Amino acid sequence: MAGRLVILCPGQGAQHPAMFDMARSDPAASRILDRCFDDPVLAGPLGAALEGAERFANRVAQPSIVAATLAMWTALGELPSPPALVAGYSIGELSAYGVAGALDPLDAIRLAAERARMMDACLADGPRQGMVALSGLPLGTVETLLQRFGFHPAILNGDDALVAGGPAAEAEGLAQAAAAAGGKATVLPVEVASHTPLLRGAVAPFAALLADQHWSAFSFPVLSGISAEPVHDAARAMADLPRQIAEPIRWKDCMDACAEAGATVALELGPGAALSRMLQARHPQIACRSVAEFRTLDGIRSWLGRQLE
């Protein structure tokens, strides 16, 4: 029986100055990146992603991650078999619609830049925001701690693992309290509390922007981050993508949905390998790799060929 492939599109956090290099070895992917770096809106953020400390800023990270992901997808070309599903983590869900052919790559990258701008605007008249990764806390402790420090669940990564967003001034306090309660906590280098009610102001503007986009037929379904259900059409995409800016991502359920769909192979498009590692840990029967683990495009294709035959 032939394997069933899932494509994973990462969120921000693992970007680095060399993240476009492997894709650049393919002429078609290189042309997409050239168009991005020549675009007056995208050139600044993508240049900053390569050159300095600003690469973790929201306005830089979101378009650069989508550009790197879609350039790599283009570089891989025709695969041994088409994906059964594509799933994206946070901003990676926008990349996923580019992978599925529903959005033109350049349109998706421009949308990422606009999404970042709209999210950043939510900070203009309020306190600084932050995010904290939490895990290993005793049952019932998480809700109490989040309420105490004014945080909200943002991404549900596992049975006892989540990312929470809230006021930056309380992030260290939350992390220390979580450690004192027996859990693990990491304050993330993020300045916007994505996927929480603090970002409600960006939902309607982004929905209006999506409504003006040209959408194409889906080559394969995309998992909705807020429901873990497969999306097959633009109408559902335009409803769910804006909502996920201010609602929690159910990544744990998305991983389970991949397994329930019969996935036997998963390829993360990079940069980074966090998604493939999470999926491997939760569903070890799925062969999971990230493009970041390979030296060449041919190496990726060869591995996929062996897994999918």
**What are the pLDDT digits (tens) for 100-152?**
999 999 999 999 999 999 999 999 888 999 999 999 998 789 999 999 999 99
Span 177-216, pLDDT tens digits: 999 999 999 999 888 999 999 999 999 999 999 999 999 9
β-bridge partners, 153: 164
Listed in order, the ranges of the chain carrying CATH 3.30.70.250 are 129-187
CATH of segment(s) 5-123+197-308: 3.40.366.10
Taking the C-alpha atoms of residue 78 and residue 64, their distance in angstroms, rounded to an integer, is: 24
The owner of tokens 């994206």 is 88
Q: What is the mean pLDDT of residues 156-177?
A: 97
Listed in order, the ranges of the chain carrying CATH 3.40.366.10 are 5-123+197-308
Q: What tokens were used for 208?
A: 């209006």
CATH of segment(s) 129-187: 3.30.70.250
Q: How far is CA 295 from CA 65, 83, 129, 298, 302, in A?
A: 19, 22, 37, 9, 12
| Helices 58-76/297-308 angle, 10° precision | 60
The owner of tokens 């390569």 is 50
Q: What is the pTM of this model?
A: 0.96
